[in-house]
Structure formats: C-alpha cells, structure tokens
Amino acid sequence: MESTPDQLNTAHREIRHLQEMIAVLRTELEAMRLEKDRDVQQAVTDAHIENQQLKATVNALREELEKLRFDGREQVQRARNEAQNEINQLKATLTALRSELEDLHHRRSQPDAAGTGPRAAKEPHHAG
C-alpha cells in the first residue's frame, strides 16, 4: 500500500496539529503547576501570618492575665496592710483605754489628801 502525496500531506498536517496540541497542553500544564505552586505558597504565607497574629494575641492575653493577677495580689496586700493598720490602731486604743481605766480604778481606790476618798468613807473616823 503506497502513500499518495495527499495522504502524506494529511498525515504531516495531523502530526503538526498533534505537536501543536502537545505544546499547548504542556504550556497549560506548566501554567497550572505555577498557579498551584503560587496557591500553595500563598496558603503557607497566610498560615504563617495567622500563626504570628495568634501568637501575638496569646502573648497579649498572657500579659493581661499576669497584670490582672499582679493587680489582684496588690489589692489583697493593700487590704491586708489596711486591716493590719486598723488592728494596730484598735490595739493601741484598747491599751490606752485599759490604762485609763486602771488609772481611774487606782485613783478611786486611793484616799485623797482631805480624807474624803472611798477608803476614808468606809473606815470609821477616829478623833485622836
């Protein structure tokens, strides 16, 4: 079976057409690979940015929590100090009142110079 020039031309055109199709498909495939690589790289970049933002948020929240803990401890210490100061003042007042009460009892139990104190009234007065 011999090929005729028309058949040969048709075969050459078909080969050229197939070669062009292969080149177009290769170009499209390469473009798709590049696009996929860009998409993957963008996803990695986006994930990295989100990761950094989340880390920053975690750090900010951690710092705020520590500040709240510190402020709470500071308020508790301040309340303790105020309570201790009040206790000390009350003790000092109690001590002063006890001392004053003892002085009053002591003065009442001692006769005065005119002999009119509580003891003088209880004891019979002798003329002598």
Q: What is the pLDDT of residues 93-122, one digit of tens each?
A: 999 999 999 999 999 888 766 655 555 445
Spatial distance between the Cα atoms of 59 and 40, rounded to a whole number of angstroms: 28
Q: pTM surpassing 0.75?
A: no
pLDDT along the chain (128 residues), means of 10: 83 96 98 98 98 98 95 94 96 96 90 58 49
Type of residue found at 6:
D
Residue with tokens 């209880």: 122
Q: What is the pLDDT of residue 109?
A: 87
Q: What is the pLDDT of residue 111?
A: 74
How far is residue 92 from each of residues 56, 83, 106, measured CA to CA in Å?
53, 14, 21
**Could you tell me how many helices (H) and strands (E) the chain has, helices first?**
2, 0
Q: What is the pLDDT of residue 112?
A: 64
